Structure 1
Amino acid sequence: MSVLTDLAIQLIAGAIGGNAAGGLLKNIDLGPIAKTISGAVGGGIGGQLLQAVIPALAGAASAPGGFDIAAAAGQAVGGGVTGAIVTVIVGLIKNSLMKKAA
């Protein structure tokens, strides 16, 4: 798979993971746009880092130009999880700063 395809999967999965984490944790006071952006950024960066650490996520065994569903699933899971983690961290930082300001 190409680098752009990998990144697109990670960004979309990160946005979904960020919105899911923000929806499940009611103390994360981020709006829907902030949850989507923080999740996408986390998914993209985290997915790329995981892909560098775990080369199997890159789909190195797939045929050139082919689509490896296992690699895509791995990237989606990695992007979703890191997107959720970054969204939670951003929400906690925002909450901490709002408490100090009040």
Structure 2
Amino acid sequence: MEALLPIIVQVITGVIGGQAVGAAFKTAAMGQLPKILAGAVGGVGGGAILGSLLGGGADPATAGALGGLLGDAVGGAGGGAILTAIVGAVMGAMNKSA
């Protein structure tokens, strides 16, 4: 369960970040499924990147406060928002060119 908790936090916060970006940029014309998927994938990626940058590592006993669940949440929300914005921009450009 200890190994699954950071991934669950990253997915949930990634979806929240993706939904926030999707609501902010209504011109992206994205449906719910692309926002959820991009947010979840971006959340896991962002949480993993931030966790490694902050020294969270694989050993939770050595992880600091920011390297733990807070880092997972911040990285997840940021990664989910960034990837959803990228996907929204690509989808918007594809809709304009078609």
Letter in 2 for 1:85: I
Tell me what 2:7 maps to.
7
For 1:77, which of 59, 62, 74 is the aligned residue?
A: 74
Normalising to structure 1: TM-score of the pair?
0.81
Cα distance 1:57–1:88, how it changes in 2: closer, same or farther (>3 A)?
A: farther
Given that residues 10 and 43 in structure 2 are in contact (C-alpha distance below 8 angstroms), is that contact kept between their aligned partners in structure 1?
A: yes
Q: Secondary structure at the match of 1:88?
A: helix
Cα distance 1:57–1:24, how it changes in 2: closer, same or farther (>3 A)?
A: farther
Q: How much identity, in percent, do the aligned residues show?
A: 39
Shift of 1:93: 0.4
For 1:87, which of 80, 84, 88 is the aligned residue?
A: 84
Aligned-pair RMSD on alpha carbons? 2.2
Segments of 4+ in structure 1 off by > 6 A? none
5+ residue gaps, structure 1, are: 63-67
